[in-house]
Chain A
């Protein structure tokens, strides 16, 4: 338990001490919020979709979480290169505890980033339609954060250096974001694309957030929660498995 806590604390300290990272990872979501939110706003409204900012905000928040989470998980590569990984690998604690500490730390950081994006969305004109459901939205944000940190951990455990990082960004993180319901609604899309979006775990997180903030669901809160938490548990297991396979 203490091991989980101290490794969580380490992630938090490292995060707080690098303000450039905090600011840097806000850039992309803000760009999407402002450019797409205001750019497509009138078209969306004319097509009868209502306020686009209202629709887009959960997607942009999830983007902030997704990027930070995957990056936090992949940070294992840095620890490998700078040697700190060895210190944790010879310690008399189980690999599962190490993974849990790291993942919760990374997820907390990602959740914080998501909250900052949420605040910016509020400034840009986003409004809660049912305030009482706000805690549910936070639960979904946290689940997204844990899920994708675990994916990052699983990938980071299998990479030897940072060379593979652009590959992960372009062939995993970007597609996860674009082939979800972050930017557009699933209804009326070509069948294959719909299928892809239904298979993407991020869609369930965004749907859950959208449902909690407003009333717009595709899958329903219950389904979203079950799918997301099950996947999170599985991926934590996968992340721990790969991490436990690391030899020096």
Chain B
């Protein structure tokens, strides 16, 4: 469903993604793990047509995101790392807008919006402005929105960040159901290792722009001789704490690292 070969992205001198290759089969749940600034979000951006790769090949649903933008965009739903809702609109209006942009027919749209908003337990608040929502509610709304146009692939960039365990469980069981029953392919990043351990069929670990390991969670634990995926992750990526920056612009963050000297340690 997703095929990546020798994918490279340079920002100036800084190499954010360095010749990575991986394949995600249809219907699989694929966890893309890595420390902060490892290149996860950059990779997602390239797969989702909003950033052009420097070189390499990539196929999403059998199509090249560079040349068949519109078809690729129709095939996936995405939850970004940062919020992407219109705060001045209500939940219902945000959903409507998405449905129209993805040309979901209006009768189906109304039904699907009701189902999804009920599922994420926002139906009672559907006519409230999103600016009155808590972080967790916004997150749930974004997940519901990403599912509205029946995507074949779901990109989730830290989808459960800031959610309580109840909501996380609820959302993951729904996503697992989608993958099993409707064969939806799921590509996600997370910092919650136990989450990846529990739901992912396959895990790729990326560090400094390179994939350092790729296997099932069980195989990774076995290979590194560790009990949990978290410990295995630390064995694979080391103990160094990465700079976590609040800046919304990845590019600035990377440029700054180049200016400070030494893109990688």
Q: List residues of A whose CB falls within 8 A of some B CB.
A: 2-3, 5-7, 10, 13-14, 17-18, 81-94, 160, 247-248
> A83–B82 contact, CB under 8 A?
yes
Residues of B within 8 A of A3 (CB): 100-101
Residues of B within 8 A of A84 (CB): 84-86
Whole-angstrom distance between the alpha carbons of A101 and B78 in the complex?
Answer: 23
Residues of B within 8 A of A10 (CB): 86, 89, 93, 97
**A2, A85, A86, most chain B CB atoms within 10 A:** A86
> A90–B78 contact, CB under 8 A?
yes
**Contact size range, B:** 20 to 34
Interface majority SS on B: helix, strand, loop or mixed?
loop
Residue of A nearest to B41 (CB): A248
Residues of A within 8 A of B249 (CB): 160
* Besides the known contacts A7-B97, A92-B103, 6 further A-B residue pairs in the complex with CB atoms under 8 A apart: A3-B100, A87-B101, A88-B101, A92-B71, A93-B70, A247-B52
Residues of A within 8 A of B93 (CB): 10, 13
**B74, B100, B102, most chain A CB atoms within 10 A:** B100
Residue of A nearest to B71 (CB): A92
> A83–B83 contact, CB under 8 A?
yes
Give me the 6 closest cross-chain CB pairs, A-B, nearest first: A91-B101, A92-B73, A83-B84, A6-B100, A92-B74, A248-B50
**B222: interface (CB < 8 Å):** no
Residue of B nearest to A5 (CB): B100
**A2, A5, A17, A83, most chain B CB atoms within 10 A:** A83
**B49: interface (CB < 8 Å):** yes
**B6: interface (CB < 8 Å):** no
Residues of A within 8 A of B212 (CB): none
Residues of A within 8 A of B70 (CB): 92-94
Instruction: Among A13, A81, A86, A92, point to the contact of B101 (Cβ < 8 A).
Output: A92
Residues of A within 8 A of B125 (CB): none
In B174-197, the 8 Å CB interface with A consists of: none
Whole-angstrom distance between the alpha carbons of A13 and B51 in the complex?
Answer: 31
> A87–B84 contact, CB under 8 A?
yes
**B80: interface (CB < 8 Å):** yes
28 A-B residue pairs with CB within 8 Å: A6-B101, A10-B89, A10-B97, A14-B89, A81-B248, A82-B83, A82-B87, A83-B82, A83-B83, A83-B84, A85-B84, A86-B80, A87-B101, A88-B101, A89-B50, A90-B48, A90-B49, A90-B73, A92-B70, A92-B71, A92-B74, A92-B103, A93-B70, A93-B101, A94-B70, A160-B249, A248-B50, A248-B51
